[in-house]
Structure 1
């Protein structure tokens, strides 16, 4: 019990030391008043303009679509190991049917169209 308390105290002290150092050394000490350099630089965009205004909902829907199919692939890889259990086969079949219906709905609504 004593070792656990000592380890908790050590991690607490190290955490507080890291927080103190980030506040002490994390400030902007340059004389340049250009606030662009304070913002993070990502994907070639500077932080002057709002990137949220140019966000497309179609890309987000496509992202969700690919994440769901990635999950499907990881779940369907277990089928050869679980074919002994008939109940799991029913669950996998229902899961695949729901995914196919979702794919057909997204295709019908026009979310999966590529501009040429």
Structure 2
């Protein structure tokens, strides 16, 4: 059940992230090759980011129990779903931040060399 929810959320958020990145690349008139690479990288990375909590379930649970909730009686399934979705959204935000920084840094260095 958790895998289906995470995969569904990843596909929806990944499509939204890919569309936003593609629109921004088009607005800034990036070359087609860069536009495709950034769009697929951010969209695919967002989908993969939602699967990270499923793949690293034991490690994330251990981190959560030791750092954020050191004396739990139990971790409720809704609580774990919220943690998994938050982890996926955090990874998406990092990818979008990397896109924003990386694409602009490349443009800055290209403008300085001209």
TM-score (norm 2): 0.30
Give the number of the structure whose alpha-carbon radius of gyration is greater.
Answer: 1
TM-score (norm 1): 0.30
Greater helix proportion? 2
